[in-house]
Structure 1
Amino acid sequence: MGGQYKITGDKYPRMRPARRRGRLAFLGVAGVTVLGVLGWGTLQLVDVFTGGDKASAAGAAGCAGPSPKASAAPAAVKLPKPGQVTVNVLNATTRGGLAQKTADELKKRGFRVGEVSNAPEQYDKKVDGAGLLLGPAGSQKGALTVLGTQLGGAEQRVDAARKGAEVDLIIGNAFKALAKPADADAALTRLSAPRQTPAAEKKSC
């Protein structure tokens, strides 16, 4: 160069390019990001092959367990109708005419009436309660149950040796009257109504 500035010697100053600090910073951030993604992916694979997230399982365990809830009601209990039940009315007391009066009332309520008489010797004056309902095997969840709605507190007994489907109402010493028709009908409705059963319902946390 001319003028007052001259270059002397055999070495010349070399111009170095400016360091690209921005690029280095970007590469550093990108590297950290890649490592983070790889680590997260590894954890996900571990969860897949080990059967799920244990932390989620622990959280679910901390929630309240299944709560009981009424399930869909099953079919109503199948009971015979009063018109399908034949009742023998037997008087085991010393009060005359009680068997016929009771039989007439049962007939009004739709029952079939069979024999109306005094109780046989094995029961005569030996029934202390309101009455004894006696029937063949299998009648305890059928005809005897239906008849039992008409006389509260009556004892029910099954005679396995007995044949046929008829049931006996043996009037006892404590007998006063049959249940009121409205009360008897309500009791029969409750017995015939569907029964609800508890079922587990899952709770969300």
Structure 2
Amino acid sequence: MGGEYRIKGDKYPRMRRPRGRRRIVLAAAASLAVAGLLGWGSLQLIDVFTGDDKASAAGGTKDCVTKKAEADPARRGERKPLPKPGQITVNVFNATPRSGLAKDAADELKKRGFAIGKVGNATKAYDKKVRGTGILLGARAATDTALPVLGTQIAGAEKQTDTRKGGEVDLILGSRFKDLAKKEDADRALAALANPAPASSKAPSTDGKNC
């Protein structure tokens, strides 16, 4: 080209793209990113409101927690029914050198409604070997039934189980035994045992780790 438009030297003008096109591309990319985020958020909300149904249908976390609650009697609020004193037969044995303790204790327990079985001295396995107030001895099935009920009548007695099959329980009086609990104290303890205060419990975990 000649004249005033003639190119001089070894530098040439560079052709640049219009800036308007770049702005359009950036705006389109931003719009796509926002749309993707909105779509992901919508899916998360759907999972929140429908996740319980899916977990239940697939045997997931909720189903696991529900099964645990159903299998645990404490969570269902169920307890083994406590027997009444008249349904408990108590054998009273004296393991101390003092005479007459077994008979006196048996007579008082009878006044309080307990059925009385054998009364006498303790066997060699326990004679003069019980240093506390006494031992409550019964079958394993009596651990949370007959033994706690009898335990309301004597403070500090130790609960033990053996391999017996019958429902009778033994009260073995120890060297520290002086007398049974006062009747009013025993009645309060028995009422509290029959109607325990509800224990606070933590909400079951729903993270699925304990399934």
TM-score band by shorter chain is: 0.5 to 0.7
| Alpha-carbon offset, residue 199 of structure 1 | 6.0
CA distance in 2, matches of 1:101, 1:76: 33
1:57 corresponds to: none
1:166 maps onto 2:168 in alignment: yes
Give per-residue Cα distances to partners, 1:149-181, cap 9 Å, x unaligned: 111111111012x23111110111100111111
Instruction: Give RMSD over aligned pairs.
Output: 2.9
Number of equivalences = 144
2:188 corresponds to: 186
Alignment of 1:69-80 (within 5 A): 74-75=77-78, 78-80=81-83
1:141 corresponds to: 144
Higher helix proportion, which one? 2
Secondary structure, aligned partner of 1:198: coil
Gap change, CA 1:198 and 1:122, over 3 Å in 2: closer
Report runs of 4+ in structure 1 exceeding 6 Å deviation.
none
TM-score normalised by the chain length of structure 1: 0.61
Q: Pick the aligned partner of 1:129 from 105, 129, 132.
A: 132
1:25 corresponds to: none
TM-score normalised by the chain length of structure 2: 0.59
CA distance in 1, matches of 2:78, 2:105: 33
CA distance in 2, matches of 1:159, 1:199: 35
Contact 1:77 1:191 in 2 (8 A): no
CA distance in 1, matches of 2:155, 2:135: 11
1:83 maps onto 2:86 in alignment: yes
CA distance in 2, matches of 1:189, 1:73: 22
1:106 corresponds to: 109
Residue type at the aligned position of 1:167: V
Higher strand proportion, which one? 1
Contact 2:80 2:145 in 1 (8 A): no
2:29 corresponds to: none
Greater Cα shift, 75-84 or 144-153 = 75-84
Give per-residue Cα distances to partners, 1:64-85, cap 9 Å, x unaligned: xxxxxxxx99356521111110
CA distance in 2, matches of 1:120, 1:181: 29
CA distance in 1, matches of 2:45, 2:148: 55
Q: Pick the aligned partner of 1:152 from 135, 152, 155.
A: 155
Unaligned stretches of 5+ residues in structure 2: 1-34, 47-74, 204-211
**Does 1 or 2 have the higher relative contact order (CA < 8 Å, sep 6+)?**
1
Secondary structure, aligned partner of 1:124: coil
Gap change, CA 1:197 and 1:73, over 3 Å in 2: farther
Gap change, CA 1:103 and 1:48, over 3 Å in 2: same
Secondary structure, aligned partner of 2:141: coil
| Alpha-carbon offset, residue 196 of structure 1 | 4.1
Gap change, CA 1:52 and 1:166, over 3 Å in 2: closer
| Larger CA Rg, structure 1 vs 2 | 1
Gap change, CA 1:52 and 1:132, over 3 Å in 2: closer
Q: Pick the aligned partner of 2:98 from 95, 99, 112.
A: 95
Unaligned stretches of 5+ residues in structure 1: 1-41, 54-71, 201-205
Contact 1:77 1:193 in 2 (8 A): no
Percent sequence identity over matched residues?
53
